[in-house]
Amino acid sequence: MKPLDPASSPLLTDLYQLTMLQAYAARNMSGSAVFELFVRKLPATRNFLLATGLGTLLDWLEGLRFSEAELDWVRRCGLFDTGFADWLGGLRFEGDVDALEEGTPFFADEPLLRVTAPLPQAQLIESRLVNIVHYQTMVASKAARCVLAAPGKRLIDFGLRRAHGADAGLAAARAAWIAGFDGTATALAGAAMDIPVFGTMAHSFVQAHADESQAFETFAEVFPGNAVMLIDTYDTEAGARKVVALAQRLRERGIAVRGVRLDSGDLDALSRSVRAILDAGGLREAILFASGNLDEHRLQALVSAGAPIDAFGIGTALTTVGDAPSLDMVYKLQQYEGRPSRKRSAGKATWPGPKQVWRWTDAQGRLLRDEVTLVHERRDAQPLLSAVMRAGRRLRADPPLEAIRARTREQLQRLPAPLAGLAPAAAHPVLISDEVRALADRVDREHGG
């Protein structure tokens, strides 16, 4: 069988979901199950996480069905009963989803998503649900740190090539854009999601010309007014001087040079010397773009040093989330047929029952504290989980990405300063309600301790 599109195939799941489903089907266990998605512990280098990926997940849930080719594998693989494939063929996701809006900061122990559905449906979706939300949430959280570290600078996602596969490259562009990046270099993100795309030139373009100035001239002629020249292939300052000389010749022909890009060396020192060369050469309007192994810490260092850089390309550190490439994010059964439940595995115990998260803010909207309660509890605060899907259908069209991005910017502005900084801060207070604690005790007693 030719590889199916993994991004949509329901076989992109752990085999145990299918074996459990066969057992559920055999025993008619199709009662209502409640699962919640949450992070047990934040990475040491994160003061908050940004919920992201919901729109992608809802698309996937609405389209969930097994194709004939997929069912054929289920029949042939030798692991399942004869009738199971037919049963799977009729399976759709017809459950409910409550979730944080995309771009909402959240913390350890807070559900960012609650699924209520017949047990087999809620179970089957686990692997890909985590796979979608985990990665986009990680990238958006990393991107938000970059945005907060470089106020007023333009940030572009440059990380497709070292992202972990095709899907990650595209998802990273979405998550970074939501978190406040200004765009991406990934062309498909423009075509598929209307995210602004940016691109300059590679070293190979310069090298393919016998002469560096000739490479710049060609590019300026093909993209008049829009050419950003990569000047570090041989010698950065010499490259800048070539751009100045070229710009003077091009000006007579009515062609402007947009800017230059640095991709190596001491970006602080080089940005100053290059800026001086450009300014002295009459190119005060030319923008200065920098890239090369950047992350939020290098961004902050360059910005606070006052390096005259207008825009940054952030690549590998963003799309691989280099300092924290996974989260302890899990999707756990909280209730089945009205009976609350939790696992007590050493170091992995969870809070039982369907829950809500409440957020208190001060008069300026700044976060004060959160509380996790059971769904029926009420607080004089903002409830963060809201209904987004009922009986397998979205309750409303997703907001445009641009609107999600604007709301995210607002959310980031409400973070208390310590959480918004790069240094590890004291954990944001997340209370667990007395009722949740009492329920945990009751569930444990019923399992005999």
Site for a second copy in 147-206 (CB under 8 A): 158, 160-171, 185-188, 190-193, 197-206
The C-alpha angle with vertex 436 and arms to 432 and 439, in degrees rounded to 5, equals 150
Question: How far apart are CB 358 and a second copy at their closest, in Å?
Answer: 26
Quote the tokens at residue 403.
């609107």
Question: How far apart are CB 292 and a second copy at their closest, in Å?
Answer: 8
User: Distance between CA atoms of 371 and 387, rounded to whole angstroms?
Assistant: 19
Nearer to a second copy by Cβ, of 185 and 420: the residue is 185
Q: Which of 224, 281, 308, 322 binds a second copy (CB under 8 A)?
A: 322
User: Distance between CA atoms of 294 and 232, rounded to whole angstroms?
Assistant: 16
Question: How far apart are CB 157 and a second copy at their closest, in Å?
Answer: 10
For position 253 contacting a second copy by CB under 8 A, the verdict is no
For position 26 contacting a second copy by CB under 8 A, the verdict is yes
For the chain, state the CA radius of gyration. Answer: 26
Q: Check if the beta carbon of residue 431 is closer than 8 Å to that of residue 107.
A: no
Nearer to a second copy by Cβ, of 128 and 298: the residue is 128
- Residue 35 pairs in a beta bridge with 115, 333
Q: Which of 36, 102, 110, 232 binds a second copy (CB under 8 A)?
A: 232
Residue 163 has φ and ψ, to the nearest 5°, of: -60, 155
For position 219 contacting a second copy by CB under 8 A, the verdict is yes
Residues 265-304 that bind a second copy (CB under 8 A): 265-266
Q: Which of 263, 295, 296, 370 binds a second copy (CB under 8 A)?
A: 263
List of E strands, 191-279: 228-230, 259-262
For position 439 contacting a second copy by CB under 8 A, the verdict is no
Question: How far apart are CB 257 and a second copy at their closest, in Å?
Answer: 15
For position 4 contacting a second copy by CB under 8 A, the verdict is yes
Nearer to a second copy by Cβ, of 197 and 301: the residue is 197
Q: Which of 83, 86, 92, 208 binds a second copy (CB under 8 A)?
A: 208
The C-alpha angle with vertex 199 and arms to 196 and 402, in degrees rounded to 5, equals 10
- The gap from C-alpha 10 to its chain's centroid, in whole angstroms, comes to 22
For position 67 contacting a second copy by CB under 8 A, the verdict is no
Nearer to a second copy by Cβ, of 25 and 415: the residue is 25
Question: How far apart are CB 266 and a second copy at their closest, in Å?
Answer: 8
Residues 76-115 that bind a second copy (CB under 8 A): 77, 79
Q: Which of 251, 344, 366, 437 binds a second copy (CB under 8 A)?
A: 344
Q: Which of 114, 298, 332, 355 binds a second copy (CB under 8 A)?
A: 332
Nearer to a second copy by Cβ, of 109 and 370: the residue is 109
- How many residues touch a second copy under the rule CB under 8 A: the total is 108
Helix, strand or coil, per DSSP, at residue 65: coil
User: Distance between CA atoms of 18 and 21, rounded to whole angstroms?
Assistant: 5
For position 127 contacting a second copy by CB under 8 A, the verdict is yes
Nearer to a second copy by Cβ, of 1 and 397: the residue is 1
Taking CB under 8 A as the binding criterion, the range among 17-25, 399-407, 410-418, 428-436 that sits at the site for a second copy is 17-25
Between β-strands 430-432 and 367-374, what pairing exists: parallel, antiparallel or unpaired? parallel
- Residue 389 pairs in a beta bridge with 97, 394
Question: How far apart are CB 167 and a second copy at their closest, in Å?
Answer: 3
Q: For residue 197, what is the DSSP state?
A: B
Q: Which of 115, 146, 321, 385 binds a second copy (CB under 8 A)?
A: 321
User: Distance between CA atoms of 355 and 374, rounded to whole angstroms?
Assistant: 4
Give kind and range of the element (H or E) at residue 103.
none
User: Distance between CA atoms of 351 and 371, rounded to whole angstroms?
Assistant: 13
Question: How far apart are CB 414 and a second copy at their closest, in Å?
Answer: 29
Question: How far apart are CB 418 and a second copy at their closest, in Å?
Answer: 27
Helix, strand or coil, per DSSP, at residue 448: coil
**Residue 260: CB atoms within 10 Å:** 29
Residue 96 has φ and ψ, to the nearest 5°, of: -110, 145
Residues 380-409 that bind a second copy (CB under 8 A): none
For position 424 contacting a second copy by CB under 8 A, the verdict is no
Q: Which of 11, 144, 147, 374 binds a second copy (CB under 8 A)?
A: 11
User: Backbone dihedral region of 282: left (phi > 0), alpha (psi from -120 to 50 degrees) or beta?
Assistant: left
Taking CB under 8 A as the binding criterion, the range among 142-150, 218-226, 294-302, 378-386 that sits at the site for a second copy is 218-226
Residue type at 51 in one-letter notation: A
Q: Which of 320, 356, 411, 433 binds a second copy (CB under 8 A)?
A: 320
User: Distance between CA atoms of 50 and 62, rounded to whole angstroms?
Assistant: 24
- Residue 393 pairs in a beta bridge with 390
Place of tokens 């209502």: 32
